[in-house]
Structure 1
Amino acid sequence: MRVGVIDYGVGNLGSVLRALEELRVAPVLVNRALDLHAVDCLILPGVGNFADCARLLEAGGWPTALRDEVLGYGRPLLGVCVGMQLLADASMEGSDDGQGTPGLGFVPGRVEHLRTLGCTLRVPHVGWNGVTRASETGGLFDGIPDGTDFYFVHSYAFVPQDPSDVLATADYGVSVTAAVRRGRVWGTQFHPEKSSRAGFRLLRNFISGPSC
């Protein structure tokens, strides 16, 4: 099993790599878009500002290569934190024109500030929060009890266009999308690599799933 961790110049690469090594997986750090085809599944990390991450992806030629792999060859992809937000059509973070900064468009929807969504709690949302499944299906959350805490750090949240793409939610004054899935594309707003045993189980579920 070759798990590719995408290195496009940003992201919590160290903690993701260490988590995979704990799972007895030898991760492959992919730092060129043309090498995406050499792995079995992909993890797209992300931290910081959406617009900055999107610019780095574009500069490295990643969007076209990712679309070829994910949409053309069905390569499984897991986006983490801003990596999940990058799966959206656009984000309002770092955008001044009201249209948003374009994302990869793998999961239709937009990324909005928590305040815009009606959150009155402290922003950013930092810390452990319980995650509730949107359905009873297993998959990414197989073997993880409903309501399990995962670790969040974010000020913006993904609002999918199709509610059926929402795998799980968290309550932070408003309902926040905690995980998404569309086809062979998954995303988690929380950091599984920083979420102790439950996060490791989620990563194992992704890696060992039938699609990977």
Structure 2
Amino acid sequence: MIILIRLYINIYIYQLYITIVIYKIEKTVDSKNLKIIIIDTGAANVHSVHKAVIKVGITPYITKNKSDIRNSDAVILPGVGSSNAVMKSLINLDLKEEIKLYANSRKPLLCICVGMQVLFDKSDEGNTKCLGIIKGNVKKFPENMIDKNNRKMKIPHMGWNKLNIINQNHKILDNIPNNSYFYFVHSFYCIPEEKNKIIANTDYGIEVCSIVSDDNIIGTQFHPEKSGDIGISIYKNFIDMVK
């Protein structure tokens, strides 16, 4: 009788072990099969972002196709240059409304640099009407900014600068300590109307919103793909939001 009980216990343990192994395999397969889209606006260095996401273990798709965007698990909107150029490109590609629809889908959307700026209502850069997904405006850095050594500060804000994290509990900042350094290149900065949507600030003569979030929508003023390993962590955390 005792031998029979032990046999049943061993069978149960073995079945439990197999169930756990299969679950882990399925989770791995699921994560590798995620459809992550990088929108090719023609006004962004999409290949740098593509390489960075690959380091997370997922190969994203570069596309400007509406159907691909609609059927994706997560979308990345990079941007370099000007808000005006990015918005013109989105309009010409017939993607402006598509991105707004996607933002309402509650699936993760990550917008980088100028990609973050076009999330807002309006940019002073070219007096550009933007997507209006997050309430607020984009302004140019003041010309007369002075640093702590009384020297005139350069525009654009270019180089490494640190995050002053406001909401450490946000998923995009998992395992990223306060005062971590990221790489910035920008002459304009975002001013969200609702301050509770600011996840992190950065000091550059004035307080600059460096991460904004509204539920599934995230914007980073810095370039994660140019920020080394800590930047790759941003992409990893973003992908983890899908699972």
TM-score scaled by length of structure 2: 0.81
RMSD between superposed Cα atoms in Å: 1.3
Deviation, 1:138, is 3.4
Match of 2:129, as an amino acid? P
Alignment partner of 1:43 out of 47, 52, 76? 76
Q: Which residue of 1 aligns with 2:58?
A: 25
Q: Which residue of 2 aligns with 1:113?
A: 140
Structure 2: stretches of 5+ with no match in the other structure: 1-33, 147-152
**Following the alignment from structure 1 to structure 2, what is the Cα–Cα distance between the partners of residues 156 and 190?**
12
Q: Which residue of 2 aligns with 1:78?
A: 110
Q: Which residue of 1 aligns with 2:90?
A: 57
Deviation, 1:106, is 1.3
**Following the alignment from structure 1 to structure 2, what is the Cα–Cα distance between the partners of residues 109 and 77?**
18
Asked if 2 retains the 8 angstrom alpha-carbon contact of 1:131 and 1:150, the reply is yes
The structure number with the bigger radius of gyration is: 2
- 2:120 is the alignment partner of 1:88: yes
Q: Which residue of 2 aligns with 1:98?
A: none
Match of 2:70, as an amino acid? H
**Following the alignment from structure 1 to structure 2, what is the Cα–Cα distance between the partners of residues 126 and 34?**
36
**Following the alignment from structure 2 to structure 1, what is the Cα–Cα distance between the partners of residues 145 and 169?**
28
Match of 2:139, as an amino acid? E
Deviation, 1:159, is 0.4
- 2:125 is the alignment partner of 1:103: no
1:11-40 deviations in Å (ceiling 9; x for gaps): 011110000111111101122223212210
Asked if 1 retains the 8 angstrom alpha-carbon contact of 2:170 and 2:199, the reply is no
Alignment partner of 1:155 out of 181, 187, 190? 187
Deviation, 1:183, is 1.6
4+ long deviations beyond 3 Å: none
Deviates more, 1:131-140 or 1:181-190: 131-140
| Greater helix proportion | 2
Deviation, 1:67, is 1.7
Q: Which residue of 2 aligns with 1:184?
A: 216
Q: Which residue of 1 aligns with 2:27?
A: none
**Following the alignment from structure 1 to structure 2, what is the Cα–Cα distance between the partners of residues 119 and 187?**
25
Asked if 2 retains the 8 angstrom alpha-carbon contact of 1:81 and 1:189, the reply is yes
Which protein has greater RCO, CA pairs closer than 8 Å, 6+ apart?
1
